[in-house]
Amino acid sequence: MSRHVVLFDMDGTLTEPRRPFASILSSPLKQLVQVADIGIVTGSDLPLLQEQMNSILTDHAIRYSLHVLPCNGTQYLKPPEFPSDSHIPVESVSMQKELGGVAWRRLMEIIINQQLRASDLDIPLTGQFVNNRGSMLNWCPIGRSASSEERKKFENFDRKFKFRKRVLNELRSELTSATIDNVTVKLGGETSFDIYPHGWDKTYSLRYFENSTVWFVGDRAHSPKGNDYEIFKACEPRSYHTTGPEETVNIIKEIIERIEKEEE
């Protein structure tokens, strides 16, 4: 019988966006690891994942069954074996190396020009606009230093004027014009864009679990523009869409029931 692995998106699934791990999920996850391994697959980089998820990365009832998959799983850390161990790095890939120097430089120019256009709009500008995560780029027009209030202001602006949807189409068009035809652009979280080579979406993480039965839970799964879409489709019929940590609690209960029935 194959091992079960339940992969979770982070922001909007295990946490509110850019917030610490939702404590209401602690007990359900402890129950889940009795029947399956779990994993966190997120577009965020490792330092941000560690900041938000520290409470379960260090929880001895969870950490030995917890796979860590930042940057869509293009980085992978397997569970530790002993209390004194940290999670163990296994793989990390380079987007800059994959694209080559010329395409990389042109891509950065396109993002910088888009940021200059965004700077003329009535949105917060806080700094740290482009985050190079090694295997992907995250571009946040208001800056990743934004406070919760500044993020809310941008989210309202984005809903009203469909700013990110428009820019998403512009970015894709500019990349095509620049003959950079092997790069994917997705909406990341509530305020940013995730940019990475084709195929380096969250389905990348599935290669580590080829001999397992994989489940997935995420919040941006219904639209191809969302960064959970591909892995949600790849894991069907063991995929769940959530609206936040409270719904994730109920989803975990249902997954446990389904796994127990499958193993009867």
Both tokens of 188, joined, read 């990341």
DSSP bridge pairs for 195: 137, 185
CATH 1.10.10.10 fits 3-93+200-262, yes or no: no
Q: What tens digit of pLDDT does each residue of 139-160 get?
A: 999 998 999 999 999 999 999 9
- What is the model's pLDDT at position 225? 81
- CB-CB contact of 4 with 259 (8 Å): yes
Residue-wise pLDDT tens digits, 6-61: 999 999 999 987 788 989 999 999 999 999 999 999 998 999 999 999 999 999 99
- 7 strand-pairing partners: 39, 216
Reported as a single tens digit per residue, the pLDDT across 86-135 is: 999 998 999 999 999 999 999 999 999 999 999 999 999 999 999 999 99
SS (HEC) of 44-103: CCHHHHHHHHHHHHCCCCCHHHEEEECHHHCEEEECCCCCCCCCEEEEECCHHHHHCHHH
Q: Kindly list the domain boundaries of the chain, sorted by start residue.
A: 3-93+200-262, 95-197
Q: Which amino acid is at 62?
A: I
Q: How far is CA 227 from CA 196, 230, 249, in A?
A: 11, 7, 21
Render pLDDT for 71-100 as a digit per residue (tens, 0 to 9). 999 999 999 999 889 999 998 999 999 999
pLDDT at 242: 96
The model's confidence at residue 188, banded by pLDDT at 50, 70 and 90, is confident
pLDDT bin (cut points 50, 70, 90) of residue 1 is very low
- The answer to whether the CB of 154 falls within 8 A of the CB of 142 is yes
Spatial distance between the Cα atoms of 74 and 204, rounded to a whole number of angstroms: 6
162: exposed, middle or buried (Cβ count in 10 Å: 0-12, 13-18, 19+): exposed
Q: What pLDDT score was predicted for residue 77? A: 97
pLDDT at 2: 65
Active-site residue set? 9, 11
CATH 3.10.20.30 fits 95-197, yes or no: no
Tens-digit pLDDT profile for residues 164-181 = 999 999 999 999 999 998
